[in-house]
Amino acid sequence: MPNGATFADAYPTQARHIRAAFWASFLSLGVGAFFGLIQALHRTDILRVIESQTYYTVLTAHGVFLVISFTIFFLVGVFQWAVTDSLERPPVDMRFTWGWYGLMSLGASLTAFAILAGFTDSIDVRANVLFTFYAPLQAHPLFYVGLVVFVVGTWLAGADWFRSWLAWKGDNPGERIPLPTFMVLTTMIMWYISSIGVAVAILAFILPWSLELTGSLNPTLTRTLFWYFGHPVVYFWLLPAYLLWYILLPKLAGGRLFSDPLARVVFILFVLLSTPVGIHHQYLDPGISEGFKFIAMTNTMFLLLPSLLTAFTIIASMEHGARQRGGEGYFNWLTALPWRDPAFTGMALAGMVFAFGGFTGIVNAGMNINYLVHNTLWVPGHIHTQVGTAAALTFMAGAYWLVPQLTGNRLVGRGLALVQVVLWFVGIVFMTNSMYRGGLVGIPRRTAEPQYEGFEYEVAAGSVGELNAQLAIGGTILFVSAMLFLALMVLTAFNGGTEPIDDGSIPPALSGPEDSPAVLDNLKLWVAIAAVLVVIAYSFPLASIVSRGGLFGPDIGPIPVAIDAASTVARTALEAVSAVVR
Amino acid sequence: MSNVARQEDPASVERIEHDEFDPVGTLALIAFYFAVLVLLWLFTYFVEFLGNVPTPVVVA
């Protein structure tokens, strides 16, 4: 890319494609955030605009729109930018690139339709199964078909990036993989290994069951396959944020990445360790023995290593920037950082929230204390600090730098953008503080009406009213912040005739790839080791689940049917009683 | 990345290379973080174990 040229100048077609991915992502953010606001006000009983039964449609939409559509559309855009920019070449065939984008959009639209149709009785389609779609909760087949098409789209996206890399390798034999491309390829390897689990769960069991081709399934098996994918998927959300922290944040701080080799080690550790840990989401599931859960816990604790390595590398890179800007002392250098830059401040705040959320993750990961917070509001607190801030706020902050590069337009409202990222931080502190503390006193999650007659939660400091107020205020601030972000993005897109402040160049690392062993770039080796770890962690639990419950389970019928039957019985009984009373 | 040419931060006052850079601030900040983690663990222990009575033993 010539000096001073934006990405949009150098690769206009690719920039258009990435912008399309970003718009799909931002649209999902807008819709998902709106549902989040409804939930925050509903479960605190401040404003109930929907029936409590509809809460689950809202909750499903909030989950799927945000953690599947918003995050993944954004990350494919970031990855396409990273690969194109660092390999300095467009995709081999742009039609293929548009093809996977089309598949992802089609899949997302089908799933979105299946969920949103739940709001009206005039269409006989429902998918109130939440983002985890645990069987025997059953959605309309369109929901699952959409998810499959979407995931296949991401697989093809990965194939596209591998193809670009192979083409580049042919032209540059013996060269180290550029770091951004290395991060994309390793993340996609992790995604391939892990998404096989959800693909098998849907294609072999849940979809045929929802189409009534098979009469039953084994819920423990499909849950286990879901969580085989369900933990690595959090790294699929997080690693693009890591990419932005490693590649962009040092530059924004005025410095250079401290160590390219450490960054490679971190991404390899995620390839190896992300998948053989999923059972830690199932500590309370019957049908999986404690021994397997213990192994999953041990693996999970190893996963702290790459995150702590990241904390070190990123902070050291920021410190390098601060020192170059004249920062001094043990802590005073922090004041030399460019806190007025919304892209920098957003990412730094996201990292800070992530560091705290990491602690709560250790609580979730520990078998004994997990029992105390499992299925409580603590868990949504954790997910909102992690994907809802570490990833989401980093994406928004990253967009303040990336979107000008992708449009060739100057960011509109830099000051407002700073307000936006700070608002998000404040909102998340209020909301998750309430969620964590509520979880500790046992307030359940995934509940429209968490208050019970004749029962009081014993809040050690404060009260349930205070927790509710914090949750509602936090949720509202987050919604306002999301809307402000979207408004600034739309205005920037139309801000023609201007130029970005920054020239889009990324300085090289202080310690470059030449300082690291070449084996780090041996992707085949890491895939092989990761596969062995997965086999060790999962073959026995899966065999045990299948031998106990059977592949297709002990005759489990779908839940929505049971609810319909039960509600019909209840309605008939009520009518009979009221007739007698009258 | 594509552009190896250094883009100097306008606010940069000096250029610090690898061997001149000693990240003591990082050490200080991470030490602070670990101290916070230890306090959070103590707090968790208090909330979850010392703050609650033992699980009642139910004899059938």
In chain A, what residues touch B47 (CB-CB under 8 Å)? 440, 460
Q: What is the pLDDT of residue A569?
A: 52
Please report which confidence band the pLDDT of residue B37 belongs to, taking 50, 70 and 90 as the band edges.
Answer: confident
| Mean pLDDT within A339-344 | 97
Residue in chain B nearest A437 by alpha carbon: B47
Which of B3, B25, B37 is the closest to A3 by Cβ?
B3
Of residues A572 and A279, the one with the higher pLDDT is: A279
Determine the residue of chain A that is closest to B12 in CA distance: A325
3-class DSSP assignment, residue A455: coil
Asked if pLDDT for residue A567 goes beyond 70, the answer is no
Which of these, B8, B21, B26, B23, lies nearest to A254 by C-alpha position? B8
Chain B CA closest to residue A2 = B3
Chain B residues with CB within 8 Å of chain A CB:
1-7, 9, 11-18, 21, 23-26, 28-30, 33, 37, 40, 44, 47-48, 51
Q: Look at residue A578 in the predicted model and tell me its pLDDT.
A: 62
Alpha carbon of B56: minimum distance to chain A alpha carbons (Å) = 16
Between A316, A508, A511, which is nearest B26 by CB?
Answer: A316
Residue from the list A254, A330, A359 with its beta carbon closest to the beta carbon of B12: A254
pLDDT of A427 strictly over 90: yes
Closest Cα in chain B, distance from residue A367 (Å): 14
Is there a contact between A505 and B12 if contact means CB atoms under 8 Å apart? no
Predicted confidence at residue B6, as pLDDT, reads 41
Reply yes or no on whether the pLDDT at B1 is more than 70. Answer: no
Q: Do A468 and A433 form a contact (C-beta atoms < 8 A)?
A: no
Lowest-pLDDT choice from A147-151, A156-160, A216-220, A381-385: A216-220
Chain B partners of A326 at a C-beta cutoff of 8 Å? 13-14
Q: What residue in A sits closest to B15 (Cα-Cα)?
A: A324
For residue A556, the Cα-to-chain-centroid distance in whole angstroms is 31
User: What tens digit of pLDDT does each residue of A397-414 get?
Assistant: 999 999 999 999 999 999
Q: How far is CA B59 from CA B53, B54, B56, in A?
A: 18, 15, 9
Q: With bands split at pLDDT 50, 70 and 90, how would you rate the model's confidence at A572? A: low
Check pLDDT > 70 for residue A580. Answer: no
Cβ separation A506–B29 shorter than 8 A: no
User: Phi and psi dihedrals of A511, rounded to 5?
Assistant: -110, 110
Q: Which candidate from A251, A508, A511 shows the least CB-CB separation from B4?
A: A508
Inter-CA distances, B27 with A284, B37, B46, Å: 38, 15, 29
Amino acid sitting at position B12 = S
- B42 — phi, psi (to 5°)? -60, -40
pLDDT (0 to 100) of residue A582: 55
Query: Residue B8: closest CA among chain A residues belongs to which residue?
Result: A254
B48 with A460: Cβ contact below 8 A: no
Q: Which residues of B touch A322 (CB under 8 A)?
A: 25
Lowest mean pLDDT among A44-53, A204-213, A375-384, A556-565: A556-565
Question: How far is A138 from A204, CA to CA, in rounded Å?
Answer: 15
The proportion of chain A whose per-residue pLDDT surpasses 90, expressed as a percent, equals 86
Q: In whole angstroms, what is the distance from residue A339 CA to residue A444 CA?
A: 38
Q: Answer whether residue A148 shows pLDDT above 90.
A: yes
pLDDT at A506 over 90: yes
- Please say if the pLDDT value at position A471 is more than 50: yes
The predicted-structure confidence for A280-336, as pLDDT tens digits, reads as follows: 999 999 889 999 999 999 999 999 999 999 999 999 999 999 999 999 999 999 999
Average pLDDT over residues A171-189: 97
Count CB atoms within 10 A of the CB of residue A185: 22
Residue B6 to residue A507, Cβ atoms within 8 A = yes
Using only C-alpha atoms, chain B has a radius of gyration, in whole angstroms, of 25
Contacts of B23 in chain A (CB under 8 A): 258, 315-316, 319-320
Of A59-73, A483-497, B11-25, the one with minimum mean pLDDT is: B11-25
Chain position carrying tokens 């548009």: A98
**Confidence bin at A571 (pLDDT 50/70/90):** low
Q: What is the mean pLDDT of residues A97-110?
A: 98
Asked casually if ipTM beats, i.e. exceeds, 0.85, the reply is: no
CA torsion, ordered B8, B10, B13, B14, to nearest 10 deg = 0
| Chain B residues whose beta carbon lies within 8 Å of the beta carbon of residue A261 | none
**What residues does A444 pair with on adjacent strands?**
A376
Inter-chain CB proximity B33 and A3 less than 8 Å = no
Cβ distance of A330 and B24 shorter than 8 Å: yes
- Helices in B2-59 by DSSP H: which ranges? 24-45
At B2 the pLDDT is: 43
In this predicted structure, what is the pLDDT of residue B8? 52
Q: Which two tokens stand for residue A111?
A: 């799933």
Taking CB atoms and an 8 Å cutoff, what residues of chain B touch A325?
9, 11-13
Distances in Å between the Cα of A469 and the Cα atoms of A331, A428, A435, A537 are: 35, 13, 11, 43
Mutate to test the interface with B, among A262, A325, A433 (most CBs of B within 10 A): A325
Give the mean pLDDT of chain A.
Answer: 93
pLDDT at A581 over 50: yes
Looking at residue A401, what is its pLDDT? 97
Distance from CA of B59 to the nearest CA of A (A): 22
The pLDDT of residue B4 is: 41
| Mean predicted confidence (pLDDT) in A432-436 | 96
Among A437-451, A477-491, A499-513, top mean pLDDT goes to A477-491
pLDDT of residue A494: 96
Out of A325, A369, A502, the one facing B12 most closely (by C-beta) is: A325
Identify the pLDDT of residue B7. Answer: 47
Mean pLDDT of A157-175: 97
A185-202 pLDDT, tens digit per residue, is 999 999 999 999 999 999
Residues from chain A that touch B16, judged by Cβ atoms under 8 A, are 255, 320, 323-324
Kindly indicate the confidence band of residue A440, based on its pLDDT and cuts at 50, 70 and 90: confident
- pLDDT of A564 > 60? The answer is no
For range A40-63, the mean pLDDT: 95
